[in-house]
């Protein structure tokens, strides 16, 4: 059974089962299951007076509040300035009822046509439906959910008096890097709307983020789970007015152990029948499907593969090498070629730790990135890697998925991944922004059987070669 069929089978259960109590909520008496609504009608709790404050928070009357910020002055730009001819098989942003402000921002970004996931997701979410989407990085999913959010917030005015620290849309993502990227995209798309975007991330100055929250009202909040809980439990952020909730990279939040925190957060938002929920994941595992069932109501299911599963700018090589020779090959490739910005992927945290230790012992400037590494250290490691102070970054798939750093020359698969999608994700760390890159995979006796599935996904064979003998020599012994 395909993943899509399994999902449809799962979500095709009875209405009573679909509306079973959210484990993160004690639900209010629910209205009938939500039908597709006219373009984004307001959730009942969001269009009237604010709901009661979240538990353990200060009374609503004590919260700082400000008047709504006016929109920027209208410019001379007109929709006619954004002429896009209809094209067979493509969906234009013009084909949706988007506001002139959103269309102006899309025009500035230079996107005339929707990506496949944007076309499919917007077709559901602009009608108020919940959605779960399977999509890799680079498919345009971020813009899809941001355009949905902005349209909702524009069409449903907030109360005349806004409480500070009450976001109307909440986006939860697992890492600081992803939060920052989403917020950057949100700032570009809200440029002409007067909507405010804020970020809460760990490893950064709490007071600085608090001052930003106190300076203006919050429309769209992008946050990592831990830092958002800090704000919520201190009574600085209140989630009772959330109209749209987005969970990005849900599978990764599972892998990183964030789901208990996410449950606490969702418990502070309105019940799932009174908010719109969008969940995105690179994979649809059974655990992800169960979370989607708990947190969404009759969701539309969208599965998208990238148009090009592997970038044409990445040259792919496979070396057939014994497991006992893999480290020697890695060491010699890096040192003989004097590579300065390389990511090495391994499947397990203990492998990552062992590779880092051996590289450091042999004089290579390396650092590891895995789920065991604390957030503040992970941020520092990525900054050092970005600045060139670390030559080799050794990572698991969980930690490596949020790495978006230009100038990575090589990706090395020390072990081939068990999931072919992870191979595509790994090699996509290089060859970014139109530059060329190289991926080298070590196929040993334990993991070479993964190759056929990877080649099937790529739609082509990858030639397998024997490494030159000189690349298999033992590293020189260092004297300490």
Whole-angstrom distance, CA of residue 310 vs CA of residue 455: 11
319 and 294 both lie in a single domain:
no
Q: Which domain holds residue 460?
A: 314-472
Q: How confident is the model over 87-104, as pLDDT tens digits?
A: 888 999 999 999 999 999
Decide if 19 is inside a domain: no
pLDDT at 53 over 80: no
Q: Half-sphere exposure (CA, 13 Å, Cβ side) for 175?
A: 26
Decide which of 276, 303, 330 is a domain's last residue.
303
For residue 36, name the pLDDT band (cuts at 50, 70, 90): very low
Q: What pLDDT is recorded for position 66?
A: 45
144 and 86 both lie in a single domain:
yes
- The encoded tokens of residue 220 equal 């769209």
Whole-angstrom distance, CA of residue 413 vs CA of residue 333: 13
SS3 track for 358-383: HHHHCCCCEEEECCCCCHHHHHHHHH
pLDDT at 29 over 90: no
Comparison of pLDDT for 461 and 312, the residue scoring more: 461
pLDDT at 34 over 60: no
Whole-angstrom distance, CA of residue 178 vs CA of residue 222: 9
Residues 411-437 have a mean pLDDT of 83
Decide which of 246, 277, 303 is a domain's last residue.
303
- The percentage of residues in the chain with a pLDDT greater than 90, rounded to a whole number, is 41
Q: How confident is the model over 316-368, as pLDDT tens digits?
A: 999 999 999 999 999 999 999 999 889 999 999 999 999 999 999 999 999 99
For residue 203, name the pLDDT band (cuts at 50, 70, 90): low
Decide which of 303, 327, 356 is a domain's last residue.
303
Whole-angstrom distance, CA of residue 325 vs CA of residue 465: 15
pLDDT at 40 over 50: no
pLDDT at 39 over 50: no
Decide if 418 is inside a domain: yes
269 and 410 both lie in a single domain:
no
Instruction: Tell the residue number behind the tokens 């109590």, with chain if given.
Output: 21
- The encoded tokens of residue 219 equal 């429309």
Residues 256-269 have a mean pLDDT of 91
Decide if 23 is inside a domain: no
> Coil, strand, or helix at residue 208?
helix
154 and 296 both lie in a single domain:
yes
> Coil, strand, or helix at residue 129?
coil
Q: What pLDDT is recorded for position 472?
A: 93
Decide if 16 is inside a domain: no
291 and 324 both lie in a single domain:
no
195 and 262 both lie in a single domain:
yes
Decide if 172 is inside a domain: yes
222 and 318 both lie in a single domain:
no
CATH number of the domain within which 384 lies: 3.40.50.300
Q: How many domains does the chain have?
A: 2
Decide if 264 is inside a domain: yes
Q: Half-sphere exposure (CA, 13 Å, Cβ side) for 259?
A: 16
272 and 319 both lie in a single domain:
no
For residue 433, name the pLDDT band (cuts at 50, 70, 90): low
180 and 161 both lie in a single domain:
yes
First to last CA, the chain: 57
- The encoded tokens of residue 96 equal 């949706």
- The encoded tokens of residue 462 equal 């990858």
Partners of 316 in the beta sheet? 439
Whole-angstrom distance, CA of residue 316 vs CA of residue 328: 20
85 and 197 both lie in a single domain:
yes
Which pTM value belongs to this model? 0.61
Per the prediction, the chain carries an average pLDDT of 80
Decide if 266 is inside a domain: yes
342 and 276 both lie in a single domain:
no
Is residue 191 within 8 Å of residue 215, measured between CB atoms? no
Q: Residue 169: CB partners within 8 Å, gap ≥ 6?
A: 149, 152, 153, 219, 220, 221, 242, 243, 244, 245, 246
Decide if 288 is inside a domain: yes
Q: What pLDDT is recorded for position 375?
A: 66
Instruction: Tell the residue number behind the tokens 């920052």, with chain if given.
Output: 180
371 and 297 both lie in a single domain:
no
């Amino acid at each position: 059974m395909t993943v899509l069929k399994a999902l449809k089978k799962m979500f095709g259960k009875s209405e009573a089962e679909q509306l079973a109590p959210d484990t993160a909520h004690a639900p209010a008496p629910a209205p009938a299951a939500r039908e597709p609504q006219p373009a984004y009608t307001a959730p009942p709790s969001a269009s009237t007076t604010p709901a009661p404050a979240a538990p353990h928070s200060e009374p609503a009357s004590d919260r700082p509040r400000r008047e709504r910020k006016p929109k920027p002055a209208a410019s001379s730009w007109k929709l006619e300035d954004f002429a896009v001819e209809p094209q067979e098989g493509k969906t234009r942003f013009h084909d949706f009822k988007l506001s002139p402000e959103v269309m102006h921002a899309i025009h500035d970004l230079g996107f005339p046509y929707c990506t496949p996931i944007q076309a499919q997701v917007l077709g559901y979410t602009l009608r108020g439906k919940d959605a779960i989407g399977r999509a890799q990085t680079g498919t345009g999913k971020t813009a899809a959910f941001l355009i949905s959010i902005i349209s909702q917030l524009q069409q449903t005015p907030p109360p005349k008096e806004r409480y500070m620290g009450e976001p109307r849309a909440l986006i939860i993502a697992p890492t600081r890097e992803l939060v920052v990227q989403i917020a950057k995209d949100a700032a570009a798309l809200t440029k002409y709307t007067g909507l405010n975007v804020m970020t809460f991330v760990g490893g950064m100055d709490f007071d600085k983020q608090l001052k930003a929250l106190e300076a203006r009202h919050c429309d769209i909040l992008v946050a990592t789970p831990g830092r958002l809980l800090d704000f919520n439990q201190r009574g600085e952020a209140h989630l009772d007015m959330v109209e749209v909730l987005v969970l990005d990279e849900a599978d990764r939040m599972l892998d990183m152990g964030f789901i208990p925190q996410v449950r606490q957060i969702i418990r502070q938002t309105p019940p799932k029948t009174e908010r719109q929920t969008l969940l995105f994941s690179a994979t649809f595992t059974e655990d992800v499907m169960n979370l989607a069932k708990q947190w969404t109501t009759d969701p539309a299911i969208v599965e998208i593969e990238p148009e090009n599963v592997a970038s044409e700018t990445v040259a792919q090589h496979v070396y057939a090498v014994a497991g006992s020779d893999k480290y020697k090959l890695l060491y010699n490739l890096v040192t003989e070629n004097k590579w300065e910005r390389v990511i090495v992927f391994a499947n397990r945290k203990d492998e990552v730790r062992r590779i880092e230790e051996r590289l450091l012992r042999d004089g290579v400037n390396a650092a590891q990135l895995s789920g065991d590494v604390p957030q503040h250290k992970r941020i520092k490691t990525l900054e050092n890697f970005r600045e060139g102070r670390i030559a080799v970054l050794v990572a698991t798939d969980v930690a490596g998925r949020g790495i978006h750093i230009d100038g990575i020359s090589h990706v090395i698969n020390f072990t081939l991944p068990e999931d072919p999608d992870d191979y595509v994700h790994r090699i996509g760390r290089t060859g970014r922004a139109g530059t060329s890159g190289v991926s080298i995979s070590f196929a040993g006796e334990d993991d070479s059987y993964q190759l056929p599935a990877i080649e099937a996904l790529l739609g082509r064979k990858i030639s397998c070669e024997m490494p030159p003998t000189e690349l298999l020599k033992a590293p020189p012994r260092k004297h300490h």
